[in-house]
Amino acid sequence: MTMTSFLAQHGYKTLCLTAGSVAGGSVSVAEVKGYEFPVGWSRYEIGVAGKKMVDYVAGGGIRWGKVGDDVVFVGDKRWSIPSNSDDCVSYFAENFPEEKDGIVGFFDKVKKTGRLLKWWHLVKTLNGEKSRDMGMKLFKAYSGENWTEDKTAKSVVEGLVANPTLRALLGYRLGVGASEVAWARLAQEWMDNFKVRSDEE
């Protein structure tokens, strides 16, 4: 959709095909039994470059605002996780003071990985096997670790913090489906916050 918009704005005749019944990809909404659910991002952070790209594609018609907190249930407790990473560090450190070093380390690693992923994807797009191999060698020398090998989001979280509730919350923050999260209660909260649509509407 981004490329379609880009080409159309530069005078090309374009056609965008999608497998979904509604265009929009990760920002579209699905209806199930009268309830509407986001099928992609429910909250996300976007940098200056990302905002410029989205503004360009949308023709400058987007108003940017602060994203609300993310609600998570672990056991019987309801947690309201801030959307901003810096606020998250303070929030988790306040609730789990004994794990402060691991919490800081977790968010530092998330930021570093985000920066590295941009370069890793760029290297993967280089033309020719020799160029890609050279690019990957340079990338690994720069990254200082084989961060793409034998690592999962779950293992990173478990290596930094010990508290099972905190592990579940940080795993949820990364988009990892932690078994400790009370998914049924979370689903109920979602349903309580979405209006049932009648046939007349």
- DSSP, collapsed to helix, strand or coil, labels residue 41 as coil
CA distance 105 to 112: 10
The pLDDT value recorded for residue 92 is 93
* Residue % of the chain over a pLDDT of 70: 71
Mean pLDDT of the chain: 76
* Among candidate residues 170, 174, 181, 177, the one with its CA nearest the CA of residue 89: 170
β-bridge mates for residue 77, sequence order: 74
Lowest mean pLDDT among 48-57, 121-130, 148-157, 188-197: 188-197
Tens of pLDDT, residue by residue over 124-141, are 778 888 888 888 777 777
Helix (H) or strand (E) run with residue 50 in it: helix 48-57
Residue 101 has pLDDT above 90, yes or no: yes
- DSSP, collapsed to helix, strand or coil, labels residue 46 as coil
CA distance 154 to 164: 12
CA distance 16 to 2: 10
More confident call, 22 vs 101 = 101
- As given in the structure block, the two tokens for residue 114 are 């985000």
More confident call, 24 vs 170 = 170
CA distance 104 to 102: 5
The predicted model scores a pTM of 0.57
Tens of pLDDT, residue by residue over 21-47, are 666 655 566 676 776 665 554 444 566
